[in-house]
Structure 1
């Protein structure tokens, strides 16, 4: 029976993805994006079958393993714009580093304000980077492997859905800056939205996401320790 549900959930997820993708391509409506439609349909199905999310995750967790190669694949289009990237590399490094600091400090501050426990706090700290990087960081800082996909997806969805409105409100017109904003704030989902807006935005969103992920994995544990030391003494 376990093998049956494993195959069923795999087929269900893949079929829902391709159907949602066809609707999204035809309509270009952001709310019909596969990243929104497939989770909603899967949640409804799980409730109807009276299964647990842990069951669904156990049967389909190998799909998550594919995110590693997919993340690396985002770097392929970067080769076409290597000269422009070399020209703006220092700026991208600076913006990615600042995005890391803002993400860590804001997450820890708000989590402390809401009196979340340490596991939830540590898991939130890794929410602003793509899932493969977030898994590595979460293990280093003592977060929950089960929570990080949820926090990461929510972060990406919010960034993808509200990114256009925010950039319009602050009158952002530079495609390089807009791409970096999507990549740093909404990782893979931001890249998907940036690519819809303009190819150049998509390239810089991809590069920003990769740089942010590397910086977070290498330096975030030290920054997080300092953050805890600084903000831990504050009484909320």
Structure 2
């Protein structure tokens, strides 16, 4: 029976995604993006059928494994702008490093204030990078395999929904700066929004997300250990 529902949810997710994508292309409304519509409908369906998350995840987990190659694919357009990227590479490295440090410190500080459990605090530390990188950090930071993707998606959704508004408030309109902001703050969903705004923003957002993920995977365990020790 578990296998039946696993296959059912796998087919449901794929079909729901393609239908939601077609609808999104027609409407061009961010709040109707597949990343919002599909999870919402899936959660609603799971609740109606009174199932547990493991019933949904048993086969749909294979869709998650596709995020790794998809993340690499974001780097393909980077080749076209390699000269410009080389010119601003130091600035992108610095912005990604600061972004990840601020993300870790703010997550830990707020989690401590609200008295969240340790596993929740640890899971929040990886929320600012895309899911493939975040999953790599799960064991390193002592997080939950279920919570880290959840917090990562929520972070991306916030950036997707409010990114345009927040950037509108800023007087600095440089597409490189705005692309870096979206890529660092909202990872894959930020890239989707950046590509809608400007092709160059999308490329910079892609590169920023990849750099941020690499920085977190390499240095997060050490940084998190320091944060836990001093805070």
Give yes or no for TM over 0.5: yes
- Corresponding residue for residue 234 of structure 1: none
Q: Which position in structure 1 is the counterpart of 2:181? A: 181
| Matching of residue 83 in structure 1 with residue 78 in structure 2 | no
CA offset at residue 3 of structure 1? Answer: 2.5
**Could you tell me the TM-score, scaled by structure 1's length?**
0.96
Q: Distance in 2 between matches of 1:18 and 1:66?
A: 16
State the 1:92 CA deviation. Answer: 0.1
State whether structure 2 residue 229 is matched by structure 1 residue 201. no
CA contact (8 A) 2:17 2:34 kept: yes
Q: Say which SS state the counterpart of residue 129 (structure 2) adopts.
A: coil
1-side partners of 2:55 and 2:73: how far apart?
Answer: 29
**How far is the alpha carbon of 1:171 from its aligned partner?**
2.3
Aligned to 2:95: 95
* Alpha-carbon distance in structure 1 between the residues aligned to 2:117 and 2:7: 36
Q: Which runs of 5+ in 2 are unaligned?
A: none
Shift of 1:47: 1.0
Q: Give 4+ residue runs of structure 1 displaced > 6 Å after superposition.
A: none
Distance (Å, rounded) in 2 between the aligned partners of 1:5 and 1:144: 24
Deviation at 1:10, TM superposition (A): 1.1
2:27 maps to 27
- CA distance in 1 between counterparts of 2:152 and 2:18 reads 22
Partner SS for 2:171? coil
Q: Which residue of 2 aligns with 1:211?
A: 211
Query: How far 1:44 moved relative to its partner?
Result: 1.0
Determine the C-alpha separation between the residues in 1 that align with 2:17 and 2:154: 18
Secondary structure of the equivalent of 2:3? helix
Alpha carbons 2:6, 2:57 under 8 Å: kept = no
Q: Distance in 2 between matches of 1:172 and 1:79?
A: 26
Counterparts of 1:127 and 1:157 in 2: how far apart (Å)? 12
Alignment of 1:10-159 (within 5 A): 10-159=10-159
Q: Distance in 1 between matches of 2:11 and 2:138?
A: 30
* TM-score of the pair, normalised by structure 2: 0.98
Question: What is the aligned length?
Answer: 231
Instruction: Summarize deviations over 1:40-92 as a string: whole Å, max 9, x none.
Output: 11011111111111211123111100001101110001000000000000000
In structure 2, how many angstroms separate the alpha carbons of the residues matched to 1:172 and 1:182? 14
SS at match of 2:51: coil
CA distance in 1, matches of 2:90, 2:104: 21
The whole-number CA distance in structure 1 between the counterparts of 2:2 and 2:219 is 41
2:223 corresponds to: 223
Provide the rounded CA distance (Å) in 2 between the counterparts of 1:130 and 1:27. 26
C-alpha RMSD of the superposition: 0.8
SS in 2 for 1:144: coil
- Whole-Å Cα distance in 2 between the matches of residues 158 and 123 of structure 1? 17
Tell me, in whole angstroms, the C-alpha distance in 2 between the residues paired with 1:88 and 1:214: 18
Displacement of 1:124 after TM fit?
A: 0.2
In structure 1, the gaps of 5 or more residues are: 232-236
